[in-house]
Amino acid sequence: MARHLDRNDVFPETLWKNPGPYEDSSLFNHKIFTKLIKASFIFIQSCKDQIIDNGILIKLRQQRRFFDIGTLEQYDFCAFGLFRLLNITKILWLSGTGIYRGQTAAIGIDYPISFVPELLLDLTDNMSFIDRLKNLFITKALAIVYRSQRNIEQILYKRYYQQKAVNFKESKYIYYIVANSVPLLDFAAPTSQQIIPIAGFIHSDQQPLNINLSQRWKTLADRSVDGFILIAFGSIAKFSDMSQKMQHIFLNACRLFPKITFIVKYDKTVTNTSNLSENIYFANWIPQQSLMMHPKFRTIITHGGLGTIFEAIISGRPMILIPLFGDHCRNARLIQKRQLGVVLDKSSLTTDQLYWSIKKVLSSTLYVNNINKQKLMIEDWIRLVNLSSYVDRLLKFSTALSKFKLRQMELDFLQRNHAYVLICAIIAAISLLAIE
Residue-wise pLDDT tens digits, 32-82: 888 888 888 999 998 999 888 888 888 888 887 778 888 888 887 888 888
Q: Over 60: is that where the pLDDT of 207 sits?
A: no
| Dihedral sign from CA coordinates of 283, 213, 234, 264 | negative
Q: Over 70: is that where the pLDDT of 10 sits?
A: no
Residues of the chain with pLDDT > 90, as a percent, come to 35
Q: Over 50: is that where the pLDDT of 118 sits?
A: yes
| pTM reported for the whole predicted model | 0.84
Tell me the pLDDT of the chain averaged across its residues.
Answer: 84
Which of these ranges, 125-129, 296-300, 413-417, has the smallest mean pLDDT? 413-417
Residue 39 is predicted with a pLDDT of 87
C-alpha–C-alpha distance, residues 125 and 114, integer Å: 8
C-alpha–C-alpha distance, residues 193 and 200, integer Å: 19
Which of these ranges, 63-67, 182-186, 295-299, 415-419, has the smallest mean pLDDT? 415-419
Question: For residues 272 and 395, which has the higher predicted lDDT (pLDDT)?
Answer: 395
- Mean pLDDT confidence for 137-163: 87
Residue 434 is predicted with a pLDDT of 81
Q: Over 50: is that where the pLDDT of 1 sits?
A: no
Domain locations in the chain as residue ranges? 7-198+387-405, 203-384, 411-436
All residues at 6 or more sequence positions from 194 whose CB lies less than 8 Å from its CB, including other chains? 107, 174, 175, 176, 177, 404, 405
CATH class given for the domain over 203-384 = alpha beta
Residue 332 is predicted with a pLDDT of 95
Exposure class string for 70-93: b at 16+ Cβ within 10 A, else e: bebebbbbbbbbbbbbbebebbbb
Question: For residues 273 and 411, which has the higher predicted lDDT (pLDDT)?
Answer: 411
Residue 95 is predicted with a pLDDT of 86
Which of these ranges, 86-95, 101-110, 186-195, 270-279, has the smallest mean pLDDT? 270-279
Residue 21 is predicted with a pLDDT of 79
Largest Cα separation within the chain, whole Å, is 95
Q: Over 90: is that where the pLDDT of 105 sits?
A: no
Which of these ranges, 39-53, 174-188, 266-280, 413-427, has the smallest mean pLDDT? 266-280
C-alpha–C-alpha distance, residues 194 and 317, integer Å: 33
**Taking a C-beta distance cutoff of 8 angstroms, is the pair 313, 368 a contact?**
no
Q: Over 70: is that where the pLDDT of 247 sits?
A: yes
357, burial (CB in 10 Å: exposed 0-12, middle 13-18, buried 19+):
buried
Hey, which bits of 91-152 come out as E strands? 91-95
All residues at 6 or more sequence positions from 415 whose CB lies less than 8 Å from its CB, including other chains? none
